[in-house]
Structure 1
Amino acid sequence: MCVTCGCSDDADSKITNLETREMEHNHHHHTHTLPDGTVITHAHHHDHDHNHESSQIHAQIHGTTISLEQEILGKNNLLAAQNRGWFKGRNILALNLMSSPGAGKTTLLTRTINDLKQQIPINVIEGDQETINDAEKIKQTGCKVVQINTGTGCHLDASMIERGLQQLNPPLNSVVMIENVGNLVCPALFDLGEQAKVVILSVTEGEDKPIKYPHIFRASEIMILTKIDLLPYVQFDVQRCLEYAKQVNPNIQIFQVSATTGAGLESWYKWLTEKVFSCANLVNA
């Protein structure tokens, strides 16, 4: 069990291509986050030498006299930089969508794809611990989608995204939406190579989430407050929530939307399309 994020040592991530239904496993590849923030990623192998090496790694990781000088999140950040270069070279805008479970990421994503698919080609990497349920919903929009199941892992990492992109093979001049595992803690710690992080908060969760989980709001360029159609039926102080978000991140841009009624979506769509064209202009400059 990892000290910080709780990901199991025997996490077995798998990637499913929704078009071919082919599944790729990554046996026992996992990342340890230590109390000082250092991250070690390694994979278990089945031969004697590698098992011995793996046991030594675990002894180091879980021992009380550990001494490491590795850069914080160094391994993941290196892979994320490679992903970022891959996106840039293909003029692809990649966004990392993060939220608690049930905040409405998938509903917002399917509505966004359906409303914008005539203007912007959008493809999706879907992250969940298990099932391909959300990927099936995304597939019904007609876009390409790859499901990454993390097993007991609580976040996507740059290595998973690299493997997912090989299956997704998004076209040039497009958008890749990465729907992260539902969690307000660990997803914010792992750079995936995205151009921007987007945190999604619903009015059913409580207005104090930005100060309870400040890192994810501090790391995000955009906050989308969803399910505003439910405001008459829930106790949620919108103004206080916005103040908390700005307190944590004065530069965060906030959209208030309902994916059910369509309220507020035009502002989100305007930002997204401008981001796409800005990305294209930077490449062509």
Structure 2
Amino acid sequence: MCRVVDLRQAVLAKNDEAAHALRAELTARGTVTVNLLSSPGSGKTALLERELLLARERGVGVAALTADLATENDAVRLARSGAPVKQVLTDGLCHLEAAMLSRHLDGWLPEDARLLFVENVGNLVCPASYDLGESLRVVLASVTEGEDKPLKYPTAFGLAQLVVVTKTDIAEAVGFDEAAFRTNVQRVNPGVEVVLTSARSGDGSGLLLDRALAVAAGAGTHAPVMAQQQHGGHGHPHDAHDHAHAHDRGPGDHHHDHDHDHHHGPDDVHEHEHDGLPPHAHPAAAQIR
């Protein structure tokens, strides 16, 4: 008798277990984790750099982990804030997973880190299905991406606890319809807060930091209807998974074709730390609003 096993659900269930454990561990040590999701080029690195600077100015213990398929560009930019930063290179994997995040935090996350910002891989599909053990999930969208973005990516926006609009300094120039965007957000995630920001002009600076600090102080977070419907009103909002996708390399099978001076285990991705400005020169990354 054959037994059909849904490998996708098995992988997600294993991830949820790891996320639950990581959330409990981080909560016990007093660290609030913020998971940032967006499309590539939304401006989340520029916004995060500004928020890290504000956190440092306010004396808030903060750290950031940023994930990309390749290059250390984002870590170099974030390190300009003076905050501890770690770059994780996924070598093609389109998202972070809870066990992966836990490994890279182990022995690295500063003891005084009250806030940990995780800049997920630029992608609104795969990362939406993976709970990282975060306390606050934030989805960002720039004014250039179109007002129907929430309808095209209902899982990403539907499980968000905060929605951030970026690059508002050019909203008029690109004809961004804020009312239509807000309406579409509410269609997939009724009641979620939407905030407007511009890293270039400074409008909305500190809003993301304030929301994260509120959670650290014990404030409740938005409970997405999508999560409640799928879990009968129970459970963490990021335990809901409603789409399937395939990868050329599954979790725990990341192959590396290039040489490195440091060893990687069979299920590791590359990591690099930046505790401030790096000691060697890097070409400046293109400015993103």
Give the letter aligned to residue 159 of structure 1.
A
Identity of aligned residues (%): 36
Kept after mapping to 1: 8 A contact 2:157/2:185: yes
How many Å apart are 1:237 and its aligned residue?
1.1
- Is 1:274 equivalent to 2:214 in the alignment? yes
Corresponding position of 1:95: 34
Corresponding position of 2:287: none
CA deviations 1:142-188 (Å, max 9, x no partner) are 11111111111100111210111015223245100000000011101
Structure 2 residue ranges without an equivalent (≥5): 220-289
TM-score normalized by structure 2?
A: 0.71
Give the letter aligned to residue 113 of structure 1.
L
How many Å apart are 1:240 and its aligned residue?
0.1
Structure 1 residue ranges without an equivalent (≥5): 1-64, 280-285
Provide the rounded CA distance (Å) in 2 between the counterparts of 1:278 and 1:173: 16
CA deviations 1:26-75 (Å, max 9, x no partner) are xxxxxxxxxxxxxxxxxxxxxxxxxxxxxxxxxxxxxxx87116755111
- Please state whether the residue corresponding to 1:168 is helix, strand or coil: coil
- Is 1:68 equivalent to 2:5 in the alignment? yes
Comparing 261-270 and 102-111, the one that deviates more: 261-270
Corresponding position of 1:213: 153
Structure 1: 4+ residue segments shifted above 4 A? 69-72
Kept after mapping to 2: 8 A contact 1:203/1:234: yes
Structural mapping, 1:106-117, within 5 Å: 106-117=45-56
Corresponding position of 1:191: 131
Supply the RMSD in Å over aligned alpha carbons: 1.7
Provide the rounded CA distance (Å) in 1 between the counterparts of 2:211 and 2:41: 24
Comparing 66-75 and 139-148, the one that deviates more: 66-75
Q: Counting strand residues as a fraction of each chain, which structure ranks higher?
A: 1
Kept after mapping to 2: 8 A contact 1:170/1:176: no
- Please state whether the residue corresponding to 1:143 is helix, strand or coil: coil
Provide the rounded CA distance (Å) in 2 between the counterparts of 1:140 and 1:167: 22
Kept after mapping to 2: 8 A contact 1:202/1:226: yes
How many Å apart are 1:266 and its aligned residue?
4.4
Name the CA shift for 1:196/1:270 in 2 (closer, same or farther; >3 Å): closer
Give the letter aligned to residue 204 of structure 1.
T
- Is 1:264 equivalent to 2:204 in the alignment? yes
Kept after mapping to 1: 8 A contact 2:34/2:212: no
- Is 1:81 equivalent to 2:56 in the alignment? no
Comparing 138-147 and 68-77, the one that deviates more: 68-77
Higher RCO (C-alpha under 8 Å, 6+ residues apart): 2
Provide the rounded CA distance (Å) in 1 between the counterparts of 2:52 and 2:150: 27
- Please state whether the residue corresponding to 1:117 is helix, strand or coil: helix
Provide the rounded CA distance (Å) in 2 between the counterparts of 1:110 and 1:238: 25
Provide the rounded CA distance (Å) in 2 between the counterparts of 1:226 and 1:167: 33
Provide the rounded CA distance (Å) in 1 between the counterparts of 2:183 and 2:142: 16
